[in-house]
Amino acid sequence: MVKKQTIGADFSEAPVCVSEWGRFRRVFFERKLVMFGLIVLMLLVITAIFAPLLAPYDPYQSNMADSLLAPSSKYLLGTDIQGRDTLSRLIFGSRTALMVGFLTVGIAGIAGVTLGLVAGYFGGITNMIIMRTMDALMGFPMILLALIIAALLGSGIVNVIIALSVATLPGYARVMHGLTLSIRENDYILAQRAMGAGNIRAMFSHILPNALPPMIVLITLQLGALILAEAGLSFLGIGIKPPGAAWGAMVADGYRYLSSYPWLSFAPGVAIMLVVFAFNLVGDGLRDALDPRLRGLL
Amino acid sequence: MAELLRVENLKTQFHTDSGLVKAVDGISYHIDELEIIGLVGESGCGKSVSQLSVMQLINAPGKIVGGEVIFEGRDLLKLKAHGPEMRSVRGAKIAMIFQEPMTSLNPVLTINQQLTEMLELHLGMSSKEARERVIELLGMVGIPSAKSRVDDYPHQFSGGMRQRVMIAMALSCNPEILIADEPTTALDVTTQAQLLELMRDMVEQFKASLVIVTHNLGVVARYAQRIYIMYAGRIVEEGTTKDIFGNPRHPYTIGLLKCIPRLDEEEGRKLVPIKGLPPNLINMPPTCAFLPRCSYNIERCSQEPWPPLKHLHDQHYISCYADTEEKNR
Amino acid sequence: MTAYIIRRLIMAVVVLIILTLIIFFIMRLLPGDPLIIFMGRAAGQGSISPEQLENLRIAYGLDKPLMVQYFNWMGGIFQGDLGESIYYHEDVGKLLLERFPVTLDLGIRAFILGNVLGIVLGLVAALRRGKWIDTGATVFSYFGVSIPVFWLGILLMYAFGLKLGWLPVTGYTYPWVDFWMNFKQSIMPVACLSLMSLAITARQMRSSVLEVNQQDYIRTAWSKGLRERVIVTRHMLKNSLIPVITLMGIGLGLMFGGQVFVEIVFSIPGVGRLLVSSVFAQDYQVVQSGTLVIAVVVVLANLIVDISYGWFDPRIRYG
């Protein structure tokens, strides 16, 4: 990714080094907010991976004697109605959040990119059918779509992932479609075709790699929104239900006891907010660092 | 002819990520009444920036760091950039037209709206009066069926037409000076010629002076009375058109003229490009900026700082240590 | 312009048709006997004889091929028959009609509030770039898109409702019944709902204005000696709003998502809450028709946004 250009070789013309990696580093790493986001994300990943080691108590174990305790030195964030330690549940909840986020983005990404690529490349009826279906899917408020699918398929993390994937892939398809259209017209694609490259080759070896950077940015930007959506679904009671640990569900639990035990809802909400905030910061930082021109597009 | 505008030692700099760019590094020139002058130089030599500085249209990261612009008895640079006094100069006394007609007009406003706002602001006309004057102006610059086209949007006009509209707009408030920054660069050759003729006629009619900023010596040959040649932020040669074309003395000017094909010369003469590349304006050495590309250089050139302007005769000045007389031609 | 509108209309219709197909087929993908699903659990528990089941099946047209069923269903919709709710034992259309105004009331208010404030905030942030208002607006926008709507609602409810007791915590009153109560009850829900729109719009507006500021025609405007205020309002505003308008359409869909949560948290009898509870009650007729209605409204709203986009950008009108 390092590109260097040296203009002029004479003594008075100071060589101008245009280094892409240098610029990336400057725009990305030297922004305090973005660094903050990156740190939060790293902490999140560490928490998720080492959850069993970090959590002081078993997040699924009921302990009715200690039900609804306020934060104390024993239970740093208090306990819920079943006497489960909120902090431990919070820690394990990070696993749910990350798993849902990354898997959804993976599935939706592959599906959406493929659809957009095919639609944009072949054009015609294929294009119309695919893109109008995408439009129709996008016409649904995302929550609604996810709600129906998840409700019909039942609870459980897998169904949540499927539901969210279906809701997110139209967005990817649309951006990929636009990118395919513009890249397709580039001369080097025509040159490849003239040299006999087949459709598959043109699509995957040439168009796809060029579309990748903006797609990566889009995906990173989406992760935050997906975690928010998952939290929303588990709040509504779809997706992970107690005893499973999911932040949204924890907020819902706390809602019931809001007047007397307000802290139940507080911590998981902060967690959600912080994580989504971090993802958004990093996503924006990535976008600005890779190509500020993307600002208008994404 | 009386002097209208005098620029003394203007300096404008830009603080970029890669360093300090001295875009305009101390230029001085003047414009008299009813004259057409040319400001010639390659891309990046600072000619556009100098004109924007005169109008105080330089924004961060750029900054005018020195010099004076004397107009109507006061230094324009001492006025607040967006204060009422400077604003009353812009458009009304000094007007500017830009290089890209395609993007220099606001796409969501009609031509009428964009012209009448100036007339209403600077000349205090009512909207009805302004509209009539606009139609008149459009007719003067050669827009056919001006009356029916006045409410059209810029995208409904071709590039050449848009530039005519820009000319009409610039002259609408009877300015004393019109600055044309690369007015024809983005247009095809035929349109270029038409537009230049139009500008010459218009400034004659409106009794204004014209500054043509361009990289194309050919453009100013026909119309300008005096020419300033710029290089790397400074003026390296100035003189009447006759001086510049008939007796170019600065190595850069000589080089420029050698690359222009001419109809009146013998066949077989080769076009000689100037060797080397335009300088990088960051970290400029104190010596003459043209040195690496100069075939006239003498020892003095690499030892002393950039040469000051040397008076040759009458209005002809060059910024050079070498004696280019015998080596010329 | 007319060609543009017609094109958009046709596309909207196509999208709507595909939408109905999607909804129809999703419902049919349910495991189990659709008749039981439509009739509710009662039918599956043997309280109806197999003969009667068969009759019902024929009566509901469930024995016909799928495409015929689809057209029957669509036909019914156009005649106003949206099915019957198993849970409420009422016509679905009636249920929806009762709740729609509530959702619309809050939704429209939040939409207008969020977008207007967002535009103003984005504009000011861009024009005073780098100053504290810009940094503040940017950070605020980041929070706006990061905060879960339901959690915000709970926080507000706790702070202003339970702890301070300033605002009523739940419920909805029609404005013509008690205007002041309606207002008080709507403050928190509308605030929650508008936040995301505000954040998104402000961000887009800010980057839009910054971009427009770089354009040649703004430099021309300055060179004409105009005042900053005139340049901003007359030259910049319309141009900056163009991408923002596009986003507003998407924002509508997002807002409905938010409304579902707000209605649940604040116990507001709107369409969102109805849909969620119907999903859990397995009251599928409500889900089917309700989703359809919502989707239609969103598509129509997007259509209106698309068309108004043409008004903003004359290149589309006369292009």
| pLDDT tens digits in sequence order for chain C, 319 residues long | 677 788 888 888 888 888 888 877 777 766 655 555 556 555 555 556 667 767 766 766 666 777 777 787 788 778 777 777 767 777 888 888 888 888 988 899 999 999 999 999 999 999 888 788 888 888 888 888 889 999 998 888 888 877 777 777 777 777 777 778 888 888 888 999 999 889 989 988 998 898 898 889 999 999 998 988 889 888 999 889 888 888 887 788 788 888 889 998 888 888 888 888 887 777 777 888 888 888 888 888 888 887 887 777 777 766 5
- The Cα B291–Cα C59 span in angstroms is 97
Of A4-8, B172-176, B245-249, the poorest mean pLDDT is in A4-8
- The Cα C231–Cα B105 span in angstroms is 13
Contact by Cβ (8 Å): B113, B130 = no
Domain boundaries, chain B: 1-90+225-261+271-329
Report the residue of chain A nearest C297, measured CA to CA.
Answer: A139
In this complex, the residue of C223, C238, C313 whose CB is nearest that of residue B57 is C223
Q: What are phi and psi of B8, to 5 degrees?
A: -120, 115
Q: How far is A256 from chain C (nearest CA, A)?
A: 10
Taking CB atoms and an 8 Å limit, are B106 and C221 in contact across chains? yes
Q: What's the distance, Cα to Cα, between the start and end of chain B in Å?
A: 34
Average pLDDT value for residue range A239-246: 76
Q: How far is A30 from chain B (nearest CA, A)?
A: 13
Taking CB atoms and an 8 Å limit, are B277 and A13 in contact across chains? yes
Q: How far is C237 from chain B (nearest CA, A)?
A: 10
- C163 contacts chain B (CB < 8 A): no
Sign of the alpha-carbon dihedral angle for A182, A188, A194, A200: negative
Contact by Cβ (8 Å): B98, B213 = no
Angle at B125 between CA B121 and CA B128, to 5 degrees: 120
pLDDT of the residue at C48: 60
Nearest by Cα to A258 from B135, B244, C245, C161: C161
Is pLDDT of A178 > 50?
yes
Q: How far is B291 from chain A (nearest CA, A)?
A: 8
Average pLDDT value for residue range B148-163: 89
Taking CB atoms and an 8 Å limit, are B280 and A8 in contact across chains? yes
Is pLDDT of A9 > 50?
no
- The Cα B290–Cα B201 span in angstroms is 36
Q: What's the distance, Cα to Cα, between the start and end of chain A in Å?
A: 22
Q: Which residues of A touch B276 (CB under 8 A)?
A: 8, 10, 13
Q: How far is A124 from chain B (nearest CA, A)?
A: 30
pLDDT of the residue at A137: 80
- C217 contacts chain B (CB < 8 A): yes
Predicted confidence (pLDDT) per residue in B239-274, tens digit: 999 888 888 888 888 888 887 777 776 677 777 777
pLDDT of the residue at A4: 32
- The Cα C166–Cα C189 span in angstroms is 14
Average pLDDT value for residue range A39-54: 86
Q: Which residues of A touch B282 (CB under 8 A)?
A: 14, 16
Mean of all residue pLDDT scores within chain A: 76
Taking CB atoms and an 8 Å limit, are C225 and B122 in contact across chains? yes
> In the structure encoding, which two tokens stand for residue B292, read together?
């690496």
Q: Helix, strand, coil proportions of chain C in percent (round to 5)?
A: 80, 0, 20
- The Cα A44–Cα A279 span in angstroms is 11
Contact by Cβ (8 Å): A250, A264 = yes
Taking CB atoms and an 8 Å limit, are C158 and A258 in contact across chains? yes
Taking CB atoms and an 8 Å limit, are B280 and A16 in contact across chains? yes
Taking CB atoms and an 8 Å limit, are A7 and B287 in contact across chains? no
Taking CB atoms and an 8 Å limit, are B280 and A7 in contact across chains? yes
In this complex, the residue of C142, C256, C279 whose CB is nearest that of residue A148 is C279
Report the residue of chain C nearest B104, measured CA to CA.
Answer: C217
Q: How far is B28 from chain A (nearest CA, A)?
A: 25
- A191 contacts chain B (CB < 8 A): no
pLDDT of the residue at B270: 74
- The Cα B114–Cα B108 span in angstroms is 10
pLDDT of the residue at B228: 93
Which 8-state DSSP code applies to residue B282? B
Within 129-188 of C, beta carbons closer than 8 Å to A belong to 139, 142-143, 145-151, 154-155, 157-158, 162
3-class DSSP state of C130? coil
- The Cα A82–Cα A88 span in angstroms is 13
Q: How far is A12 from chain B (nearest CA, A)?
A: 6
In this complex, the residue of C219, C228, C239 whose CB is nearest that of residue B57 is C219
Average pLDDT value for residue range A171-179: 83
3-class DSSP state of B179? strand
Q: Helix, strand, coil proportions of chain B in percent (round to 5)?
A: 35, 25, 40
Question: Bigger pLDDT: C63 or A158?
Answer: A158
* Partners of B25 in the β-ladder: B11
Question: Bigger pLDDT: A120 or B245?
Answer: B245
pTM (2 decimals)?
0.81
Within 2-21 of C, beta carbons closer than 8 Å to A belong to 11, 14-16, 18-19
Q: How far is C248 from chain B (nearest CA, A)?
A: 20
Is pLDDT of B144 > 80?
yes
- The Cα A18–Cα C221 span in angstroms is 34
pLDDT of the residue at C118: 93
Give the rounded percent of residues in chain A with a pLDDT score beyond 70.
Answer: 80
Question: Bigger pLDDT: A204 or B219?
Answer: B219
Domain boundaries, chain C: 2-78, 98-312
Mutate to test the interface with A, among B17, B42, B280 (most CBs of A within 10 A): B280
3-class DSSP state of B34? coil
Q: What's the distance, Cα to Cα, between the start and end of chain C in Å?
A: 8
* Partners of B212 in the β-ladder: B38, B180
Angle at A277 between CA A275 and CA A281, to 5 degrees: 120
Contact by Cβ (8 Å): C314, B107 = yes
Question: Bigger pLDDT: C28 or B140?
Answer: B140
Taking CB atoms and an 8 Å limit, are B283 and A14 in contact across chains? yes
State the pLDDT confidence band at A14, using cuts at 50, 70 and 90. very low
Taking CB atoms and an 8 Å limit, are A16 and B282 in contact across chains? yes
Taking CB atoms and an 8 Å limit, are B117 and C239 in contact across chains? no
Taking CB atoms and an 8 Å limit, are A269 and C276 in contact across chains? no
pLDDT of the residue at A295: 47
- The Cα A92–Cα A83 span in angstroms is 16
3-class DSSP state of C316? helix
- C108 contacts chain A (CB < 8 A): no
Contact by Cβ (8 Å): C99, C269 = yes
pLDDT of the residue at A280: 86
B234 φψ region: left (φ > 0), alpha (ψ -120 to 50), beta (else): beta
CATH level 3 topology of C98-312: MetI-like fold (1.10.3720)
3-class DSSP state of B284? coil
3-class DSSP state of B258? helix
- C131 contacts chain B (CB < 8 A): no
3-class DSSP state of C296? helix
Q: How far is B289 from chain A (nearest CA, A)?
A: 8
State the pLDDT confidence band at B326, using cuts at 50, 70 and 90. low
Contact by Cβ (8 Å): C211, A296 = yes
Report the residue of chain A nearest B286, measured CA to CA.
Answer: A12
> In the structure encoding, which two tokens stand for residue B279, read together?
């300088």
What domains does chain A contain, in order, with CATH numbers? 29-49+83-294 (1.10.3720.10)
Q: Which residues of C touch B151 (CB under 8 A)?
A: none
Give the dihedral of Cα atoms C303, C309, C310, C312; nearest 10 deg: 160
- B121 contacts chain C (CB < 8 A): yes
pLDDT of the residue at C116: 94
DSSP per-residue letters across chain A: ---------STTS------HHHHHHHHHHT-HHHHHHHHHHHHHHHHHHTHHHH-SS-TT---GGGTTPPS-SSSTT-B-TT--BHHHHHHHHHHHHHHHHHHHHHHHHHHHHHHHHHHHHH-HHHHHHHHHHHHHHHHS-HHHHHHHHHHHH-SSHHHHHHHHHHHHHHHHHHHHHHHHHHHHTSHHHHHHHHTT--HHHIIIIIIHHHHHHHHHHHHHHHHHHHHHHHHHHHHHT-SS-TTS--HHHHHHHHHHTTTT-THHHHHHHHHHHHHHHHHHHHHHHHHHHH-TTHHHH-
Give the dihedral of Cα atoms A45, A50, A52, A53; nearest 10 deg: -140
B1-90+225-261+271-329, which class in CATH? Answer: alpha beta
Q: Which residues of B touch C232 (CB under 8 A)?
A: none
Q: How far is A278 from chain B (nearest CA, A)?
A: 27
ipTM: 0.85
Sign of the alpha-carbon dihedral angle for A246, A252, A257, A259: positive
Chains interfacing with C (3 or more CB pairs < 8 Å): A, B
Mean of all residue pLDDT scores within chain B: 86
- The Cα C247–Cα C243 span in angstroms is 7
Taking CB atoms and an 8 Å limit, are A13 and B284 in contact across chains? no
Taking CB atoms and an 8 Å limit, are C150 and A232 in contact across chains? yes
pLDDT of the residue at A13: 31
For residue A77, the one-letter residue type is L
pLDDT of the residue at C45: 55
- The Cα C53–Cα C36 span in angstroms is 9
- The Cα C259–Cα C149 span in angstroms is 9
